[in-house]
Structure 1
Amino acid sequence: MQIKQRYYTPKEYLAQEEVAEFRSEYRDGEIVPMTGGSINHNQIAGNVYAYLKFMLRKTDFKPYIGDLRLWISRYRQYTYPDVLLIKGQPVFHEQRPDTILNPCFIVEVLSKSTKNYDRTDKFRYYRSIVEFQEYILINQYEIGIEQYTKTEGDSWLFRAYESDSKNIIFHSINVEMAIEDIYENVEFALAETE
């Protein structure tokens, strides 16, 4: 006996999200609960956000962390990037101040359950956003950063970082950050217990 999958409209999802104890993403009719964040996940996202907040003060770029929802209309997706930047003013979806349309830079901290999705389908969805210029994927279990920067002709340049002795340059915003600062206070031994 098969169980029929229930599909939700975006309006139904948003109504549920307003009263839910835990956040969920919306994937073209399906509501997908988000996995719980680990202490390393939280530390990495916080480190990147705090650095960008400091470095980009008095510029046209504004960083946001965790709870700001993103609507990707082409693929009918609501998602919550770990860290994102908006250049200029946020463009709100349907006048909702909790849902934006125009990030130019997104950081995702990889977890075991979402790493493949973050690298493939989610990246494809993000690329449909006109303003989107740079995507950073950070491994929370060991030092490892994947950087995708948009170039001319809608191509994407890939760089990988696997040592904390280097710096990473976020090319779309011209900001350099030490990889050891990204991983400050991260204890990889904690990840083994997850």
Structure 2
Amino acid sequence: MTAILQVTEQPTAQDYFTPEEYLALEEAAEYKSEYLDGVIIPMTGGTTNHNRISLNMSIALRLALKGLDYDVFMGDVRLWMTKNRIYTYPDVMVIPGKPEYYNNRQETVMNPQVIIEVLSKSTKAYDRSDKFKFYQTIPTFQEYILIDQSQVYVEQYCKLANKRWSYSQYDDEDTALVFSSFQVEVALADVYEKVDFEAENEPEHKSEESEEA
């Protein structure tokens, strides 16, 4: 899902919500939010480039895994992490076999093998640090892909053993991202198809100045 996560200051007593209260609010809300152990964190819409990359990866994986026992899901499917009591919406998830639903809620899964996040300026530090640590509490989690939307740059973490991960970087559009969880390669040219880097790197104040003029 193309979204920007904004973590605010520590909650006060009246800002604390149980997971059940969060789910009830989420069902009625116009916009999605994530949940971090009692704190509800609003999410804002992502860019068109963010959406293009998520869609490109989902299509590539869906086609490559056709006929195999995997499911590919985009950002509307919620992920529950029991250990840290977190609900989040990864941009892309790959699940082996059948999805394991939390409390039989078919919009909430618990068993991704691969998680893909498209980085934005406001989320990249969180996605690379705390969020990765949270994902590592998922028993089935084996591979983490981080895709920069402002340049051709992909990071890959593959689980080797308990608390040990390999790390790879891809920054050449003529190369391919090679997954370790299954025999699939996705060309970076396909990952970044139709992505407009010039628009992504354009200063935010430029459009505001144009409107004022």
* TM-score, normalised via structure 2 length: 0.87
Name the CA distance, whole Å, in 2 between partners of 1:148 and 1:4.
36
Count of matched residue positions in the alignment of Structure 1 and Structure 2: 192
CA offset at residue 172 of structure 1?
A: 0.8
Alignment partner of 1:188 is 2:201: no
CA distance in 1, matches of 2:163, 2:129: 17
- Where does residue 32 of structure 2 map in the other structure? 23
Gaps of 5+ in 1: none
Q: How big is the shift at 1:192?
A: 2.6
Deviation track 1:58-98 (CA, whole Å, cap 9, x = no partner) reads 10111001100000000010000000011001110011001
CA shift for structure 1 position 190? 1.4
Residue matched to 2:187? 178
Highest Rg: 1 or 2? 2
Partner in structure 2 of residue 78 of structure 1: 87
After superposing on structure 2, the runs of 4+ consecutive aligned residues of structure 1 that deviate more than 2 Å are: none
Unaligned runs of 5+ in 2: 1-10, 205-213
Identical aligned residues as a percent: 47
State whether structure 2 residue 64 is matched by structure 1 residue 55.
yes
Alignment of 1:30-179 (within 5 A): 30-179=39-188
Backbone CA RMSD of aligned residues: 1.2
3-state SS of 1:103 partner: coil
Q: How far has the Cα of 1:168 moved from its partner?
A: 1.2
Which has the larger displacement, 139-148 or 165-174? 165-174
Shift of 1:153: 4.0
Tell me the amino acid that sits aligned with residue 85 of structure 1.
V
SS at match of 1:70: strand
CA distance in 2: counterparts of 1:56 and 1:35, whole angstroms: 31
Give the TM-score normalised by structure 1.
0.96
